[in-house]
Structure formats: structure tokens, C-alpha cells
Chains A and B, each alone.
Chain A
Amino acid sequence: MNISEILFWFLSALAIGSALMMISSKNPVYSVLWLIIVFFAISGHYILLNAQFLAIVNIIVYAGAIMVLFLFVIMLMNLNAETEPRKNRWLKWAGTIAGGSLLLVLVAALRQVEQSGADKAVGEGNAGLIQNLGMVLFKDYVLPFEISSILFLSAMVGAVVIGKKGD
């Protein structure tokens, strides 16, 4: 078993375990924290596949969007000082993000140790680089790329229609 296989199994176990913990934990705040670990583990998988761009976007978009979701949860559930000590929560936050970042650095470092295994899995091993991604996106997949703008546009129109004051 070489190093990228070990990493793969470790990340998979981490992702599945955290996902299970996410849906089984009673506290919504814990659920969000576990979810962030899942995202980091999946980003690790992307790095293993040499898809750095996807890995970073995954963290920016998901961890970013989830952060907003997290705030919404706190606001909607009205979690106050009695139910959730404030200091403790930020510590957990910092811990999750720092730990996840460390994990990514470790993954990035360890995959250098043994190159060939990961590369074989994805052919040339550069499918995930930004340049190739852009080429594929604007040549082969230009239709879904453009048409998804309709999807987002309709979601935005909907948000305005539903959210605006009055009928």
C-alpha cells in the first residue's frame, strides 16, 4: 500500500465518518462543523487527483457558503449564551479551519512522495488544472455552462419575488 492509497483511504474514512457524524449529531452547530470537515476531506480527494483549482473552489464556495448557512442557523435557532458558550464556539471554528488547512497541506505534501499512482488514475494527471478546465468548460461544455445561468437567474428572480415586501 503506497502513500497515496493510504491517503485515499484515510480521506474517504474521514469524509464518510464526518458525514455520518453530521447527520447524527443533535446540535446543528456541530452538524455544520462536521460538514466543514467533510468538505475539507473532499478537497483532499481533489488534490489527490491533481485538481487544485476544484479543491480551492470547493473550500471557498462551500466552506464560505456554509459559513453563511451557519450564521443563519444561529440566528434562526436563537442560540444564546446559555445554550452555546460564545468563546467555545469560535475556538471550535478556528480549530476546524486550522485543522482542515493542515490536512490539506499534509495531503499536498504527501502526494509528492509517490507520484505515479495518483497520475495513473486520471490519465495524464493534469485534467484538473485551471487551463484545462477552462478549455473543457468553454469548448466541450459550453452549452451546460451557459444554460446554468438560466437556472441561477430563475433562482434569483424567485428570491426577489418571494422576498419582496407585499404580495
Chain B
Amino acid sequence: MNLILLAAVWGIVMMLSGLFIKKKENAVQLAFLGSLILAGGCFADLHEYAFIHSDFKGLLAYDKFSHLFLFIISIALILYIWLTGKEVVKVGNHPSEYFALLFFVMSGAGLVTLFNNLLILFLGIEILSIPLFILTGSDKRNLKSNEAALKYFLMGAFSTGILLLGIAFIYGATGSFQLVNYMMQGTEAAAIYHHIGLALILIALSFKVSAVPFHFWTPDVYDGAPTPFTSFMASIVKLAAFVGFAQLILNGFSSDSARIQSVVALLIAATLIIGNVAAVYQQSVKRMLAYSSIAQAGFMLMAVFASNDMARQGLLLYAAVYCLANIGIFAVLTKMKDYTYEGFNGLAAKNPFIAFCLTVFLMSLAGIPLTGGFFAKYFLLAAVVKVGGYLWLVITAVVFAAISVYYYFKVIQAMYFKPASDNSGLITAVGSSFKVGLLLAALLILLLGIFPYQLLLDVLTVY
């Protein structure tokens, strides 16, 4: 609850600060302060110090898992503003407003994590998406950015409609928006409405997390949006949508889990296949990362599929590792002259430190041992094995994780084994604070790869 309140308040503070702030850089500092406050609030929540202790008549549900997740994304926000804040300012004339929108998105992320009522889920998803439509189109002179924003907006509005229709059907079947009520379904006659509603909600949420076959917007939007905002979309927002999805299935529809599993298993397989195969053929690293985020969505969907304790732990670990790695990679990408693979040629010779950090991030995304990505994938696969009966899914996932190594290592190969050219390398030399931030992210990923249980210890004792 602290996060929702603080993020909303700080969003308004950022919005009003646009009046008083003369130097654009000061907006970054103010936003950084806000992200620290958010992280403090989340930390207090973890130890049950909250401004408001009410659950608003059951509209919200608090548990250790969601608080830990919110703490993770608030840490990710600190790193995001640390590494990418200066680039956010360069996008356009409204830095305070961009940060205000980012903070509003954070409060939406809080809602989709803590909801116990479909109404809150809907509001959360909307607060998560509407600022993103705007941020996608914030590079107003760029035609690609405009196209991406319009596409995202139209598709997003459509999927919102589907989500609402699904919620309405569920309401018709059970007479309530409350999640716990769906555990005990309505009457037999209303079962058909329940199924229709569930299917529609699944479709809408699959769109939000860009699972195949609802992924078509992702490459264009990720590619067209200004890179700092792509970073935000691909890390924090994506994870928040996933946690919302997983919470919904676990808390609301566990009685339907067998039926959901058969559908979600197909979604996972399709997402892994299309995402990974398409990523192999990309020329631009930014577009490759968009497809890789689809492919990673396949793995994260396993948390929705399995919805057991193992899956929740895996999702938490995935959240931490994936956010850190993506924020790090995109932060470097914003500093690159050229977004193609050739742009990375010879980076290791010029900037060995940045190349090393980038290697850690890419290896973590690929799931190489000793990085956090390995354990994140391991936990989710183990969760699927624990469900039983879906061995083909595990094998598919492992095969395509191996394929993903190819396109991640193509970047590493370019950095270390190819000579630099005029078009490659960074635009300007990076400051030491940027390097410290990157180092921090890389260290956290390595730490999570060596001691994954340290993060999960709290959760393990709860479940």
C-alpha cells in the first residue's frame, strides 16, 4: 500500500515540479529522490509498517510475496533512474511530466500486485498502460514513435475492452468482483459464463504480457518507442503485468487450474518458438531485445502455468534478474551510436568495463550458470516439473533456451572479437556514476546467481 500512495503522491510532485524546475537535470535528481522514497516505503511494507493498514473491505490483499516483489521493482526503479534518467530528459521538452507518468505507472504496478478484486486489477492495468501509450509517442518528431504509440493505443484499448467483457461475464456468473468468490463457482447454469469470462480475461492479459499469438504489437512498440522508455516497458511494467496475471490465476481461479494449464501450456510453447526464432533473424539489437522479451515471456508464463510456491519463488527471482539485466542493457543501448550488431563491434577494446557488464547481463538473459538468470529459469522449470505431466513443455523450453544463447552471444562476439569501425561504440564517454550503477546491477545479478536463496529466504519461510 505504501508504494501505491507514495508513487501517486510523488507523481503529482514531479508533475508540479515542472513549474519550478529550470534546469532539466534537476528533474532527474528529484525523480531519483522519489525512487529512493518508494524503495524506503516498500521496505517498510515488508516489515509491516504502513501508512494505511486497511485492506479496504477486501479490495486489496497483502502477502509477503507481493511486498517482496514491489520491493524488487522499486530497487529496479532506482537503478533505472540512475542509469537512464539523463536519457529520459533528452527525449523531449517535458522531463518532469515523463517522470510523473513513470511514477503513476509505479502506482499501477502496486495495484496489479496487491489486488484482490477484479475492479482493482482493471484499474491497475489501465494505470499501467495509459501512461505508456503517451511515453511511447513522446518523441513527437519521430514517425516511428508516432506509429508505435498509435498502434499500442489502439491494440491496448481493444484488449482493455476484452478484459472488461471478461470481467463482466465473471460478474454475471458469480455475482462478485471479489477473487476469493471464484474459488467456489456459481451455479451449474452459470458455468458457461464463467468459462467465457475466464477465456476473455486470459486473452486480454496475454496481450498485456505479449504472449504469442497476441504479441504483434511488441516488436513495433519496443522498437518505435524512445529507448529509455522501452527499457521501462521491457522491465518493470512487463514484470508487474506478469505478477498480476500469476496472482489472478493463483488467488482467483485455482479451481480451474487444470483447464487453464492446458491452454497456457500451448501459449508458452508458441511464445517460446516464435519469440526465439524471430529474435535470431533480427539485425537491430533493440528489435532483437523486443523479440527476446517475447521469448522471456514464455518462461515467465510458466509461473502462471504452474501457480505453485516454486513458481512464485521463480517469478520473484526472474523479476529481479530480468529487470536488472534489461535495465542495464538498455542503459548501454541508449549510449550507442548504432543499434545494429555492427554498432557493438570492438566495444571491449574501447570500453572493457562496459563490455564486461553487458556480457553479464546478456549471459543472465540467456540463463548461463553463475548468473541469476540460470536459477530463475531453473526454478520455473522445476515448478513445471512439479505440476507433472508436461515434460514436453520442459524439453521445449530447454531447447529454445539453448537457441536463445545464439543471439545473445552474437552481441558478445561483436564486442570482443570484431574490430571497431566508425559507426560502432559509444556516442560520448560515460561518467563514473553510470559505471558504478552498471557495476551494481551486474554484481546483483552475479550475487543472485550464486546465492539465489538469500532473496527468497523470507518467502520460503512464509509458504
Contact = CB atoms under 8 A, between A and B. Distances in A.
B130 A155 contact: yes
Interface in B87-136: 92-94, 97-98, 100-101, 104, 107-108, 111, 119-120, 123, 126-127, 130-131, 133-134
Nearest to B122: A144
Given A147-B111, A150-B107, A158 B131 contact: yes
A9 interface: no
B4 A147 contact: yes
Contact of B12 (A144, A147, A153, A160): A153
A154 interface: yes
Given A147-B111, A150-B107, A151-B123, A158 B57 contact: no
Contact of A166 (B12, B93, B101, B131): B93
Nearest to B56: A143
B127 A154 contact: yes
B460 to A, nearest CB: 31
A151 B130 contact: yes
Nearest to A158: B134
Contacts of B4: 147
A141 B97 CA distance: 29
B145 to A, nearest CB: 11
A16 to B, nearest CB: 14
Given A142-B56, A144-B59, A157-B15, A151 B133 contact: no
Contact of B119 (A139, A141, A151, A162): A141
A167 interface: yes
A151 B4 CA distance: 12
A2 B225 CA distance: 57
B224 interface: no
Contact of A162 (B12, B56, B100, B134): B134
Interface in B32-68: 56-57, 59-60
Contact of B134 (A141, A157, A166, A167): A157
Contact of B141 (A142, A162, A164, A167): A167
Given A143-B59, A143-B120, A150-B127, A160 B92 contact: no
A144 B104 contact: no
Nearest to A163: B140
A166 B140 CA distance: 8
B133 A147 contact: no
Interface in A133-150: 139-144, 147-148, 150
A106 interface: no
A166 B138 CA distance: 11
Interface residues of A, number: 21
A158 B8 contact: no
Contacts of B130: 151, 154-155, 158
A152 to B, nearest CB: 9
A13 interface: no
Nearest to B60: A143
Contacts of B126: 151
A39 to B, nearest CB: 16
A23 interface: no
Contacts of A151: 123, 126-127, 130
A160 B8 contact: no
B346 interface: no
A167 B100 contact: no
Given A161-B138, A167-B93, A167-B141, A147 B101 contact: no
Given A151-B130, A167-B93, 12 more contacts: A140-B57, A143-B59, A150-B127, A153-B104, A155-B130, A157-B100, A158-B131, A158-B134, A161-B92, A161-B101, A161-B134, A167-B140
Interface of B: 4, 8, 11-12, 15, 56-57, 59-60, 92-94, 97-98, 100-101, 104, 107-108, 111, 119-120, 123, 126-127, 130-131, 133-134, 137-138, 140-141
Interface of A: 139-144, 147-148, 150-151, 153-155, 157-158, 160-162, 164, 166-167
27 contacts: A143-B56, A144-B119, A147-B8, A147-B127, A150-B8, A150-B11, A150-B107, A150-B108, A150-B127, A153-B11, A153-B12, A153-B15, A154-B11, A154-B100, A154-B101, A154-B104, A155-B130, A157-B101, A157-B134, A158-B101, A158-B130, A161-B97, A161-B98, A161-B101, A162-B140, A167-B93, A167-B141
Nearest first, the 4 closest Cβ-Cβ pairs linking A and B are A158-B134, A143-B56, A154-B104, A167-B92
